[in-house]
Structure 1
Amino acid sequence: MDSIKNRRSIRKYTNQEVSEETLHELLEAGMCAPSAGNERPWHFVVVEERSQLEEIMKVHQYSRMLNEAPLAIVVCSDLTTDKYPGNNYWIQDCSAATENILLAAQEKGLGTCWLGVYPVQVRVEGLKKILNLPENVVPVSAIAVGYPAESKEPIDRYDEMRVHRNRW
């Protein structure tokens, strides 16, 4: 619960590099996510080249934190794995993978910020081009990752008014 409650969107980062071992653990956490029919549609593009991070900032208006973050992980879905055509479970699957990465990063002392990509077409098409994604691969989210240069207090987000039992 500590990682869940303490995770906050971080938009300022130090220049400390993220080790390959830590990056591997974040990606492993993403791949531990549940998925419909065990499809595991996800693919992860690790973006460390400054020029690519700058290009992402041009197509995603809320990605300015990439100016300081040492890397981003773009969570993508391979649509050819879809066992349930038309249900779009891949969106949920990749969202679960994204959240696993956020929580693993929090546990490791890293800061992250989830950047929504899908379904905003200018972002989807922009990232497909920047990352040279195949036609059947859709970017779902991007995660800014780095060591935080800011500290944010946890917020109590529990709201009893949003809990309903048996019916609305």
Structure 2
Amino acid sequence: MELIEGLMTRRSIRHFTPDAVPEEFVETVLRAAMQAPSAANAQPWHYVVINDRLMLEKVTEFHPAAESLHEAPMAILICGDSQLEKRPDRWMQDCSAATQNMLLAAHGLGLGAVWLGIHPDPIRIDNMRLLLGLPSHVHPLSLVAIGYPGRVLGRVDRFRPERIHHNRW
């Protein structure tokens, strides 16, 4: 898929087929995430691949927007490690860039994905930390549900010229 076409056609997919995602696709998505820019090239991220059905269902108990996990065959939690940072408090930006790379890579592979926010909600953070046994210096930012799309969504034009300013407001 051509890059600009991929950017313009990526959509949040919330319904999935039950088909498993091949391991080579999972690795490609993770490799794309790790290619993201990061402050001082610190790469302060960790990823938790979740494909255990019971664990995915458990997330839906404390995350009200995670209904897609009832159908998704897997999800990946993106976490920032404050011990790996070279610039304080940049892990959120770094992990956000990694999350976007992950979404685009999934789309490029013909997969669907949706970004489920974890940070800054303390209930979601605490429950993810407890569910996955995260150390205190590892901070969950986002969870990406991934699978083969159960529905094909059309292209949406989100360009808003009135939101563009040049040199001054």
For normalisation by structure 2, the TM-score amounts to: 0.97
The answer to whether the Cα contact below 8 Å between 2:47 and 2:77 also exists between their aligned partners in 1 is: yes
Tell me if 1:45 matches 2:60: no
Secondary structure of the residue aligned to 1:81 is: coil
Query: Could you tell me how far 1:15 is from its partner in structure 2?
Result: 1.1
What pairs with 1:56-71 in structure 2 (closer than 5 Å)? 56-71=59-74
Secondary structure of the residue aligned to 1:167 is: coil
Secondary structure of the residue aligned to 2:157 is: coil
Query: Could you tell me how far 1:89 is from its partner in structure 2?
Result: 1.1
What pairs with 1:24-43 in structure 2 (closer than 5 Å)? 24-43=27-46
Runs of 4+ more than 6 Å apart: none
Query: Could you tell me how far 1:82 is from its partner in structure 2?
Result: 2.2
Secondary structure of the residue aligned to 1:56 is: helix
Tell me if 1:92 matches 2:93: yes
Tell me the equivalent position of 1:111: 112
Corresponding letter in the other structure for 1:114: W
2:23 to 2, 20, 27: 20
Tell me the equivalent position of 1:2: 5
Query: Could you tell me how far 1:59 is from its partner in structure 2?
Result: 1.4
Query: Could you tell me how far 1:38 is from its partner in structure 2?
Result: 0.5
Corresponding letter in the other structure for 1:106: H
Structure 2 CA distance for aligned equivalents of residues 13 and 84 of structure 1: 38
Deviations for 1:21-62, whole angstroms, at most 9, x for unmatched residues? 000000000000000001101100000001100111111110
The answer to whether the Cα contact below 8 Å between 2:43 and 2:85 also exists between their aligned partners in 1 is: no
Query: Could you tell me how far 1:165 is from its partner in structure 2?
Result: 0.5
RMSD, aligned α-carbons: 0.7
Count the aligned residue pairs: 166
What pairs with 1:126-137 in structure 2 (closer than 5 Å)? 126-137=127-138
Structure 2 CA distance for aligned equivalents of residues 41 and 83 of structure 1: 9
Structure 2 CA distance for aligned equivalents of residues 34 and 20 of structure 1: 24
Structure 2 CA distance for aligned equivalents of residues 57 and 167 of structure 1: 44
Deviations for 1:133-165, whole angstroms, at most 9, x for unmatched residues? 011101000000000010111110111001100
Corresponding letter in the other structure for 2:146: V
Corresponding letter in the other structure for 2:8: K
Structure 2 CA distance for aligned equivalents of residues 84 and 21 of structure 1: 33
Query: Could you tell me how far 1:83 is from its partner in structure 2?
Result: 2.0
Tell me if 1:81 matches 2:84: yes
